Chains A and B, each alone.
Chain A
Amino acid sequence: MSLMTEITIFVLAAFVGFEVISKVPTTLHTPLMSQTNAIHGIVMLGGLIVVGYANDPLEYVIGTIAIAFGAINIVGGFMVTDRMLGMFSKKPKPKAEADGKGGGGK
């Protein structure tokens, strides 16, 4: 890929990013951050690639740590985001409603 193609992709991605992310409501900003952290874990691909052509002990160590860091980002990020969003998508308390109606009936 030529440098100019890459810059084109970068600039367009920046516009898409601003467009999409500015629509995320403040309520969801913490999950947004942990989700983007997870997406950032994509750097693990770089770790996978460089460990492939590593050929001395130091490079083995560097590459392995980079993969581990990336995997923490990916696995931890998506899982904790899922946990948080589960709290947001809970049913808006059918219990309270039942209480109110039940109380009236009795």
Chain B
Amino acid sequence: MIAEAVLKPGGDAATALYIVAFSLFILGVKRGTHPTTAKQGNLVAAFGMAVAVVTTLLLDGIGNWGLIALGLGIGTAVGVIASVRVKMTEMPQMVALYNGVGGGAVALIAWSEIRHGISLGETIPLDTLIPVLFAAVVGSVSFWGSNIAFAKLQDLIPTRPLAVPGQQVINVVLLIGILVACTDIAINNDDPSQAIFIAVLLAAGLLGNLVVLPIGGADMPVVISLLNAFTGLSAAAAGFALDNVALIVAGTLVGSSGTILTMEMATAMNRSVANVLFAGFGGAPAGGAGGSTEERPHVSIGAQDAAIKLAYADSVVIVPGYGLAVAQAQHAIKEVGDELEKRGVTVNYAIHPVAGRMPGHMNVLLAEADVPYEQLKEMEEINPEMPRTDVAVVVGANDVTNPAAKNDPDSPIAGMPIIEVDQAQQVIVIKRSLSPGFAGIDNDLFYEANTSMLFDDAKKAAADIAAEIQNL
């Protein structure tokens, strides 16, 4: 009986089950288009994954059960602990880490495939070998690149752009070297050299490190999305190598998602992906900007003044940025919003596409603090409302509110779409100091006549304001 339960690899039964699995993935993602159905969609996709895993475990030729149990056990334990413990403010590094292990898994599988091919002593067909090489290179780049992104987001290494002299040249040389080595392996496909393959893995890893190291914190939404696309494509390539339809479809799905997000993030910064990757924003111009320490007049207020301005407004728009995540101020800000709503003030939250360190970062934080979905407004939606807004409160956001993007064609961020808080009747900026944002440029908003600066930690400032409103 048990023998009959075993599926033939590539056989109709196994393929049919894989088709069921990937259909469930697509349905799951499709349900993810609305907050009310997304949770259910996630379960549908997870069920698809269960189908795919069980199908594979039933394949003929699956063995070494002890190792399988060990790998599954370790992975499950780590996954459960990490997903339960992670704070919502730490989601970007979590996703970076998941990108990394995903890419790492693909690179290891590719290595194993090559070793298997060599040990058989037969010619490895190119339609297997080329996807294996692609998977190895892209998997290794994502593994190491994601680890650097993780380290930067976790503040293990400086988030400033770190550049090695002659970086671009080194990257190009590495890339050419990888292509040459891969070509060599492909030409000698009757007896490829494992040493060269390992060199390819290492060179790709080094390239991943070098490409991500010079990229600064605020560009992380682009980088994380791009690494997401890479891991997806590497999984699809592994599917080509292993003739596995579930891997091809699932990998492509992830690749599409990462690609779409990458393009959206780059558009939101008015920069090309290549510019983000190779231009190292804030690298060169940072020195120049650092010199401009001239004093410009600005208005500084305390929590009580801010509370009065807010409490007597009709409509308030709160603009969160990465500073909100750093200060873990999402709950305190929600409290301010609640106090204002009790007084009949209309409160909305304006979210710039690249606010935070990954796509949708701010939305997750505010959802955690129970801000209703309807109050989260996208940039295009809120900008026309700005002139009718009494007070705009900027919390830990900087470059995404800088009017220089519209007014100063020479600004490094010229043309970047911004949340037009300068159009509001009054602006309150909660920030620790006047220091420039990631782009290394001064924010003209701070010096406008209708702007008041509240210098404090975002969480403390928000808590103080909420208390002051209560006392009014």
Contact = CB atoms under 8 A, between A and B. Distances in A.
Given A13-B249, A63-B67, A30 B108 contact: no
B74 A21 contact: no
A9 B251 CA distance: 11
A102 interface: no
A51 B67 contact: yes
Contact of B113 (A50, A80, A85): A50
Contacts of A62: 108, 111-112, 115
B67 A36 contact: no
Where chain A touches its partner, the secondary structure class is helix
B360 A47 contact: no
Given A10-B252, A33-B228, A82-B39, A27 B360 contact: yes
Nearest to B364: A30
Nearest to A55: B119
Interface string B346-377: 00000101000011110110011010111010
B261 interface: yes
Contact of A69 (B108, B112, B248, B368): B108
B112 A50 contact: yes
A53 B91 CA distance: 37
A45 B7 CA distance: 14
B189 interface: no
Contacts of A92: 372-374
Contact of A78 (B46, B91, B238, B251): B46
Contacts of B39: 82, 85-86, 88-89
A27 B82 contact: no
B25 interface: yes
Given A33-B95, A73-B98, A76-B82, A42 B245 contact: no
A4 to B, nearest CB: 10
A49 B62 contact: yes
B249 A27 contact: no
Interface residues of B, number: 115
B314 interface: no
Contacts of B25: 39
Interface string B46-85: 1001001100110101111001101110111011101110
Nearest to B101: A69
Contacts of A93: 370, 372
Nearest to A60: B67
B256 A49 contact: no
Interface in B89-108: 91, 94-95, 98-99, 101-102, 104-106, 108
Where chain B touches its partner, the secondary structure class is helix
Interface string A34-45: 111111111111
A103 to B, nearest CB: 9
A49 B111 CA distance: 13
A23 to B, nearest CB: 5
Nearest to B341: A96
B242 A17 contact: no
Interface stretch (B27-35, B180-188, B425-433): B27-35
B32 A87 contact: no
Nearest to A48: B56
A17 B361 CA distance: 22
B67 to A, nearest CB: 5
B231 to A, nearest CB: 5
A46 B98 contact: no
Count chain B CB atoms within 10 A of each CB in A28, A72, A78, A80 and give the residue with the most. Answer: A72
B244 interface: yes
B32 A38 contact: no
Contacts of B42: 31, 35, 78, 81-82, 85
A89 B244 CA distance: 35
Given A28-B35, A75-B83, A83-B83, A66 B46 contact: no
A89 B43 CA distance: 14
A31 B364 CA distance: 8
Contact of B99 (A32, A37, A75, A89): A37
B35 to A, nearest CB: 4
Given A30-B360, A34-B94, A46-B244, A79 B75 contact: no
B258 interface: yes
A77 B228 CA distance: 13
A90 B39 CA distance: 11
B304 interface: no
A24 B102 contact: no
Contact of A14 (B245, B256, B361): B256
Contacts of A55: 119
Given A31-B42, A33-B228, A51-B68, 13 more contacts: A1-B245, A9-B245, A16-B256, A26-B359, A27-B376, A28-B32, A28-B35, A30-B95, A30-B361, A33-B224, A36-B232, A52-B63, A69-B108
Report, nearest first, the 9 A-B pairs whose CB atoms are least far apart.
Answer: A71-B75, A17-B256, A67-B71, A29-B360, A76-B79, A75-B79, A29-B359, A69-B105, A30-B360
11 contacts: A6-B248, A16-B253, A24-B32, A26-B353, A30-B91, A33-B95, A33-B261, A47-B105, A48-B53, A74-B75, A90-B370
